[in-house]
Amino acid sequence: MEILQIAGFSLVATFLALIVKEQKPNFAFLLIVFVGCAIFLFLVDQIYAIIHMIEKIAINAKVNIVYVETILKIIGIAYIAEFAAQITKDAGQGAIAAKIEMGGKILILAMAIPILTVLIETIIQMIPS
């Protein structure tokens, strides 16, 4: 029940940040950033296990590992961009958050093009001439 630990830790930090925010808003923001990073670090082992499991499934299915790694990188970019955008929004910088999200989307598109190319080529080969 790791979610209970995460939720409990987050709620305590939230209440503490609300109390501290009245006196020291900068410190409250740093507390929230620290909690977000701590939660991410708490989940690193789970993330590693998921990646390892997906790689084993891909190897067993004889899928080219390059494609699996690319998809995992795309997922990583999406999570990192979302995390950074949320922190930036919490700091009151919505415009910068929007640019982070746009940058993440562009990087995802750039990484997906080789996979899309192979997919289109495969479909074209399946079509009878």
Which DSSP symbol is given to 23? T
pLDDT at 1 > cutoff 90: no
Q: What is the pLDDT of residues 91-126, one digit of tens each?
A: 889 999 999 999 999 999 999 999 899 889 989 998
**Per-residue pLDDT tens over the stretch 22-75:** 999 889 989 998 998 999 899 999 999 999 999 999 999 988 888 899 999 999
Q: Which residue has the tokens 């590693």?
A: 48
The model carries a pTM of 0.80
Q: Tell me, what amino acid is at 37? A: C
Average pLDDT of span 11-32? 92
